[in-house]
Amino acid sequence: MPSANAAKKPEKSRAYRRPRTLTDAPTHYCAGCGHGIVHRVVAEVLDEMGLREQAVAVAPVGCAVLAYDYWRIDVTEAPHGRTPAVATGIKRVQPDRLVFTY
């Protein structure tokens, strides 16, 4: 029979909570890769600033191209070295959006 003290223990608080902008997709990156950390930091900042609905990311080819699997924001792809040009075009067409390159 459980003791009375066991029922009165307070719940432990979590040190980490997944940002709303970050999906729960399993990562495809290699062990030790920093992409996952960057995804989390970007998601936390967008959540803290309340900019998730306005955000558009532009990702280059390579491992970073799959950023759309990890963020709940609009993400588009660009060829090598062309992310600034693509981001500039998006910002000119939609000036009210927060556009950033990854």
User: Which stretches of the chain score pLDDT less than 70?
Assistant: 1-12, 14
Q: What is the pLDDT of residues 4-16, one digit of tens each?
A: 555 666 666 767 7
What three-state secondary structure class fits 44? helix
Distances 55 to 22, 75, 85 between C-alpha atoms, Å: 13, 9, 17
The pTM (predicted TM-score) of the whole model is 0.79
Q: How far apart are CA 58 and CA 76, in angstroms?
A: 5
Q: What is the pLDDT of residues 38-53, one digit of tens each?
A: 999 999 999 999 999 9
